[in-house]
Amino acid sequence: MKGWLWTALLLLGFAALAAATAAGHLQDFDRTLMLAFRTGDTGNPIGPLWVERLFLGLTHLGDWRSVLGIAAVVVVYLLATGRRATALLVFAAISTEALLNNLLKEIFDRARPDLVAHSVEVSTTSFPSGHAMAAAVLYLTLGALLLPTQRSRARKIAIMAAAIGMTALIGISRVYLGVHWPTDVIGGWLAGAAWALICWQIALRLQTRGKIERAGD
């Protein structure tokens, strides 16, 4: 029940954020935070060059090529170890996330930021961030899959901290590189986390019914 409660809270948070963003109530927040990642020159991100290169590398871990590549490796591994139902669930979670994000982008049809220079090329609409949403679904799902394989509480905390940290850094990279408003990224995190939780709850339900393998089976 707690999982579904958190899912509902995340979805309510997304709906509230989307409504406030559409009404223009968060423009000052977006502008202030985006400019905080810039020097006095709006075309120059803060920090030395290696920081920009770091975020350029991180942001690619949330694009569709990397997400599909990592998901494919996980699916192949699960199939090779006989966990076919789990592999199907991972595939479904990632593929449906992509469809859902495209649908949400079409619905909200928000223009990309023009406040600062873009450090990477973009072509789709802005809300919610596809990178932030895909990262949340992929890395949180992988973290959830790994948790049952660990007995140590410290290792479980480390795994989820790594999953959350990767999701956070990929989202932050989109604002740092100037291609998303902060609210786009927050929306992506909320929607992605909610979708990951939904898939996780479905997996738990199927496990109790014996229709999906448990870790270690």
For 5-37, write each residue's pLDDT tens digit: 999 999 999 999 999 999 999 999 999 999 999
131 labelled catalytic: yes
Q: Is the pLDDT reported for residue 195 higher than 90?
A: yes
Task: Look at the alpha carbons of 101, 89, 195, 147 in this order and tell me if their dihedral is positive or negative.
Answer: negative
**Res 203: pLDDT:** 76
Q: Does the N-terminal peptide bond of residue 128 adopt cis geometry, omega within 30 degrees of 0?
A: yes
- CA-nearest of 98, 108, 30 to 68 is 98
Tokens of 160: 């989820």
pLDDT tens string 96-111: 999 999 999 999 999 9
